[in-house]
Structure 1
C-alpha cells in the first residue's frame, strides 16, 4: 500500500506544480497545443512534456474550439491526438490549484468542469474519425481526452489509472459511462480501487482498441497522415490492425485474468459494505490486498463512485456527464477533497483523515444529496 501511495504522489506531483487551471487564459511563450495539418488530416499534440502534458483551462478551451472547427469541415478525414515526449499522453490537471480555486470562488470550478466535460463529450460525438495515441501515462483528465475516441492506441509505455477515490474525488470525465461498460464488473473495480494497468493490459481491459510496439508509433502516425488511401474509419482501422498484429505477436495473459470472477462477485454488490463483506468471505491474498486498498480510500468517494457506476450503466453518454457535473460541483467543496489533495500532493504522508471516517457514517440521505439536481441555470448544458 505504501508503494501505491508513493506512485500516486509521484505521478500527480509532477502535475501539481503547474500553473493553475484558471490562470492560463493568455498566450504563453510556449505553445501548449501544436497542430499539424495535411490534406484534411490533423495531428494535434499536447505540448507540456515537463509536467506530463497536464491540462490547463487554456488547453481545454483551445482544443474544444479547434475540434469543433475541424469537425464542421466536411473535408476532414482524420484527427490524431498525442502527448509530447514519451513519458505521458496526459496525466490530468493541476489538482492542487483546483482545490485552492474551489475554496475561493465557486464560479471557477463551474467553468472548469463545464468546459472540460463539454470537450470530453465533443470527442465522444465527433463526426470525423479520432485516434488517441495513448503512449505513456494517461490518468484523470487525460482519460477524458482519449477513452471516448473511436480509436485508442496503447503501447508498452502506457499506464492507465483512475485514482480519484484516493483524493476524495470520483472517476469523472465520462468515467460513469465507459467504466460500467467494460467486461463484467472490471470498470467498477478499477474506479473504486484506482488500480493501475500498464502496457498490453490496457488493451486487454478494453480501454484501448489497439496495442502497438512503442518503437513503431512514429511510423504509424506517418502512415495515417501521409497515405492518401487512409481517408475514412475503415481504412484507418485497417492500418491500425496491421500494426496491432505486430504488437500482439507474443503470448500475453491479462494481469487481472486470475481475479475476474472474484471481481464480478464482489463488485456486483449494491452497497460498499457488501462489497467488503464479499471480499472478506473470499479469503484469498488478492482479496485481502483489495480490502486494504479500499480501506485507504475516502468512504464518501467510495459510496459516490459505486452509485455513480450503477446509475451510469443505464444512462446515455450525455446524461452521464450531466450527473458527473452535479457531483463535481458538490464534492470539490467538501472536506475529503482538500484532505485527499493534502495527503497525496502537499504533505505526501499517505495518511488522510477522512470525514466521515467510516462507510457506515455516509448515510443514504447525504449520498443522495450529491446526485440531486442543481438549479436549472447551473446544470451542464451542451450546444
Structure 2
C-alpha cells in the first residue's frame, strides 16, 4: 500500500512547492539570510520595484529585527530583475489619495522618511546594490547607507521638479554636500547620471559590474557576524578592481564642471536664470530650456531646501521635507505634474503659477512653515 501512495505523495509535495514558489514570486518584497548576511530584495520588477507604503513598513521592521540580531552582521538591499533597483515611490497612488483626502498621502511620506532616517543611522554595515534605475524612493533606500554600489546599468536621477514635487528622501541633506554645486544642478534639472558617473560624483561609494552580483553577495555573507566597515570596503574594492566595464569613459559632466560651479551658484532662481541667459553658450541655453519646463514653485522650494540643508542634519532635513511634502499635497502643481508625466503622458503640464517671477515669497514661506503639532514628522 505504501509504495502505491508514494507517487501521490510526491505529486502533493511537488504541488505544495510550486504553490510556495508562486507565493514568493507574488510577494512585493523578500527577506532572507545567508549566513550572517541579511538580504532585502525589492520584488516588483514589472513596476520597476517602485516603493509603496507596505514595503516601507516591512523594510523598516526587518531592519530593526536584524539590527538587534547578534547573528546578523550586515545587510544587503537589491532589486529584482535587470532594469531597476527602485525607480521611485508609488506617486500615482499618493496623488490619488491626496485628491480624496485619504491618509495615504500623509502616511507614505511619513513612513518613507522614517525609513530613510533609520538607514542613515543604521548600526551595522548596509550595502545598497543599485543595479539599474535608481530614482526618488530608490535613492532614499540607498544613498544614506554606508555603502552604495553602482553598476554599468545604474541610472541615477532626482527628477521631482518635473512633476511638481522636490528632491525629497533626504535630498536636501545629501545633494548640497556634493562638490561644485553639482547637487543643486542635479536637483533643479533632473539630470541623469549613468554607470561610473554615479561613483565619480560621490553618490555611489563603489562600482562593481552587474555580472558580479552573486559573487558580491557570497563574499559579503562570509564576513561573519561582526564585520568591520573596513572588511566590507575591502570586499567591494577587490570586486571593483576586477570590474573593467566603462573604465575608460570620462566623467560625463567633466567638461561642464566650471559652468555648473559658476552658473548654479545663485541664491535665487531668478539669479540662476539670469546667469544662464548671460552665458551665451549652447550648454547654458539647453539647461535654461530644461528649467523652464519644470514647476516654478518646485524650483524655488528646491533651491531653498538645498541652500538651507547644508547646515541641517539628516533628521532636521527630513522634518522640513515632510512639511514640504504635505504642502505639495495641499497645492496644485504636484497633481498637474503627475497627470502630465505619469497619467496622460502628454508632458505638457500647466503650472500655476507658470513663471518663476510669479512665485511669491509668501507662498515659498508657506511651504516651509510648520504643520500642526500633531502632524509634524517625529524621528
TM-score, normalisation: structure 1: 0.90
Aligned to 2:354: 357
Structure 1 gap segments, 5+ residues each: 1-26
Aligned to 1:276: 273
Among 115, 119, 122, the alignment partner of 1:119 is 115
> How many correspondences in the alignment?
356
CA distance in 1, matches of 2:284, 2:107: 40
Any idea what the Cα deviations from partners look like across 1:238-273, whole Å, max 9, x if unmatched? Answer: 000111122258333110011111111111100001
Among 105, 108, 114, the alignment partner of 1:109 is 105
Aligned to 1:180: 176
Among 238, 244, 263, the alignment partner of 1:266 is 263
Among 320, 324, 333, the alignment partner of 1:323 is 320
1:230 Cα offset (Å) = 8.1
1:35 Cα offset (Å) = 1.5
CA distance in 2, matches of 1:173, 1:118: 10
1:235-246 matches, within 5 Å, as 235-246=231-242
Three-state SS of the structure 1 residue aligned to 2:103 is helix
Larger radius of gyration: 2
Among 345, 362, 370, the alignment partner of 2:367 is 370
Q: 1:224, 1:230 within 8 Å by CA — same for their partners in 2?
A: no
CA distance in 2, matches of 1:55, 1:141: 6
Aligned to 2:13: none
Q: 2:88, 2:137 within 8 Å by CA — same for their partners in 1?
A: yes
Measured at CA, do residues 106 and 326 of structure 1 come closer, stay the same or move farther in structure 2, by a change above 3 Å? farther
- Stretches (4+) displaced over 4 A: 227-230
Segment drifting more, 331-340 vs 247-256: 247-256
Segment drifting more, 242-251 vs 129-138: 242-251
Q: 2:73, 2:224 within 8 Å by CA — same for their partners in 1?
A: no
Q: 1:32, 1:48 within 8 Å by CA — same for their partners in 2?
A: yes
Residue 192 in 1 paired to residue 188 in 2? yes
Q: 1:230, 1:236 within 8 Å by CA — same for their partners in 2?
A: no
Three-state SS of the structure 2 residue aligned to 1:311 is helix
1:227 Cα offset (Å) = 4.8
1:347 Cα offset (Å) = 1.5
CA RMSD of aligned residues (A): 1.6
1:1-383 matches, within 5 Å, as 30-105=26-101, 107-228=103-224, 231-247=227-243, 250-382=247-379
Any idea what the Cα deviations from partners look like across 1:268-318, whole Å, max 9, x if unmatched? Answer: 100001001111111111101100000000000000100010111110110
1:45 Cα offset (Å) = 0.5
Structure 2 gap segments, 5+ residues each: 1-22
